Amino acid sequence: MTNIEAKCRILGKLWMDYREDPDFVDFIEYNDMGLPMAYLVDSELVKITKKGEIFVEETFELFLHSL
């Protein structure tokens, strides 16, 4: 199982590297809360809350299913 810090690291990198990529537009737009939140948590700019974890978990699950 992947911990929340690793999920934030993966999703934050994904958001920074692919947010302008036309192939990812649907995924990026749908996950407009989870991806930037993951980036901010990974960058240690914010601390994640239980509600925030829900967004990150959902976004990570959708990412895995898209592979």
Task: Compute the Cα dihedral for 32, 30, 23, 41 and give only its sign.
Answer: positive
Residue 40 token pair:
């901010």
What is the CA 4 to chain-centroid distance, rounded? Answer: 10
Number of domains in the chain: 1
- Taking a C-beta distance cutoff of 8 angstroms, is the pair 55, 37 a contact? yes
- The one-digit pLDDT tens for each residue of the chain (67 residues) are 789 999 999 999 999 999 999 999 999 999 999 999 999 999 999 999 999 999 999 999 999 999 8
- d(CA 38, CA 44) in angstroms, rounded, equals 10
* Cβ neighbours of residue 51 closer than 8 Å, sequence gap 6 or more: none
Per-residue pLDDT at 1: 73
Give the residue numbers spanning the domain of 23.
4-66
